[in-house]
Structure 1
């Protein structure tokens, strides 16, 4: 795998996280497009924010092989980034509608 492929997979996992939250909790849904967009931005934001801890794509591929532990942490952070991105977008929308 390359650094770019890891980044793309990470963004895709964030999209999945946001859309899965919307499937299970209908009140947080922003429809498919809204869920996807917030999942992308939430995933990117969380990976950029927490990647300094050592699980960014460049560190995962530092030795030339995939570090499975760091890759797993990266995917979990991306998943939760998508979920938290959707939750925060819904919270902001609710605050603006008041």
Structure 2
């Protein structure tokens, strides 16, 4: 697996996390397209932000070896990054609509 493939898998897991969150909790949903976009950005943000701790795709395939435990950690962070990305966008949407109503 290359770093690019690991990054794409991470983004896919972020999308799945956001879509599942929107499907499970309807009040947090922005529809399929909105959930997908928030999952992509949430996943990318969390992997870039927390990946510096040592589980970014670069560290997973470092020195031509493959570290499975770092890949699992990367996948978990990507999934929850998509979920938290959707929550953050919903909070921003709520605050903006609240100010517009006043």
**TM-score scaled by structure 2?**
0.94
Extract unaligned runs of 5+ from structure 2: none
SS of residue in 2 equivalent to 1:63: helix
Shift of 1:66: 1.9
How many residue pairs get aligned? The number is 98
How is 1:49-64 mapped onto 2 (pairs within 5 angstroms)?
49-64=49-64
Which position in structure 2 is the counterpart of 1:42? Answer: 42
Q: Which whole-Å CA distance do the structure 1 matches of 2:45 and 2:57 have between them? A: 14
Shift of 1:64: 1.7
Q: Which whole-Å CA distance do the structure 2 matches of 1:58 and 1:48 have between them? A: 11
Please list every run of at least 4 consecutive aligned residues from structure 1 whose deviation after the TM superposition is greater than 3 angstroms.
Answer: none
Per-residue deviation, residues 40-98 of structure 1 (Å, max 9, x unmatched): 00000000000111000010001323211000000000000000000000000000001
Root-mean-square deviation (CA, aligned residues, Å) is 0.6
**TM-score scaled by structure 1?**
0.98
